Structure 1
Amino acid sequence: MDFRKEKDVRRPDLIVPYQEPARSNEGGEFQSTLSSTLPMAAIFMRNRYVGWAAVAFSVQTWLGESEETKRSNSSPGYFSVGMSIMSLIVTYLPLFLPPGANLQQGSATGAPAPAPIPA
């Protein structure tokens, strides 16, 4: 059976042109909220995984913002990327500056240790 010889059954009067659907801002608003909230959560919880998620979400939001969201947002997209990188630095800071290493048992100017009570 040869398919090339068949008659074309498509009718040009039934063709409907493609119309792009209207965009909704609900997804962008949620993504913007998430990209600004996750860095704070990473700093408060000191969780590295949340910090990496914050970087991923903020870069995705920054690269996906449109002209309309640029006009409506008060802060630019690269600000949230900077905040997420800062939260990542804060979460990794205890690896390089351990919190207990800076504390000393006593100081030279402090009061002397209490003397034992004689029995």
Structure 2
Amino acid sequence: MDYTKDMRQPDLVIPYQEPPPKGDSVEFQSTLSSTLPMAAIFMRNKYIGWAAVVFSLQSWLGESEDSKKGNSTPGYFAVGMSLMSLLVTYLPLFLPQPGLQQGTATDAPAPLPA
């Protein structure tokens, strides 16, 4: 083969340009990581609390330099909020509320005081 005859023309070379990132998935994940802890606190649901921890950890570990500049709250704040929501959901396990009896729906009602 004859490599002396190069047909490439340097003036026709097009430099690589990185495509712009899609911002929709990052915004959706950020929204989930900030609203799931609130839902767990209001509903006192442990499963939503654990999902909030997982989503906030994923969004914190997956944030880029551009998303750090665009967000007003840092990623570790969402992790702290989700851990706090998990603490709130497990709080009645350690600090039971006085006056509430744990009964079933088939028990007889409690007697009224005289």
Structure 2: which 5+ runs fail to align?
Answer: 1-7, 9-15, 101-113
Residue 82 of structure 1 and its aligned partner are, at CA, apart by 0.1
2:80 is aligned to 82
Instruction: Indicate which of 44, 47, 50 corresponds to 1:46.
Output: 44
Whole-angstrom CA distance in 2 between matches of 1:84 and 1:53: 9
Letter in 1 for 2:91: L
1:58 is aligned to 56
Whole-angstrom CA distance in 1 between matches of 2:53 and 2:43: 16
Whole-angstrom CA distance in 2 between matches of 1:62 and 1:44: 23
Structure 1: which 5+ runs fail to align?
Answer: 1-12, 103-115
Percent identity over paired residues: 70
Q: Which moved more, 1:32-41 or 1:21-30?
A: 21-30
CA-atom RMSD in angstroms: 2.4
- The DSSP-based 3-state class of the residue aligned with 2:35 is helix
Moved runs in structure 1, 4+ residues, more than 2 A?
Answer: 18-22
Whole-angstrom CA distance in 2 between matches of 1:39 and 1:86: 8
The TM-score normalised by the length of structure 1 is: 0.68
2:98 is aligned to 100
Whole-angstrom CA distance in 2 between matches of 1:20 and 1:56: 31
1:9 is aligned to none
Whole-angstrom CA distance in 2 between matches of 1:65 and 1:86: 21
The TM-score normalised by the length of structure 2 is: 0.70
Q: 1:71 to 1:19 in 2, by over 3 A?
A: closer
- The DSSP-based 3-state class of the residue aligned with 1:41 is helix
Residue 87 of structure 1 and its aligned partner are, at CA, apart by 0.1
1:22 is aligned to 20
Residue 19 of structure 1 and its aligned partner are, at CA, apart by 7.1
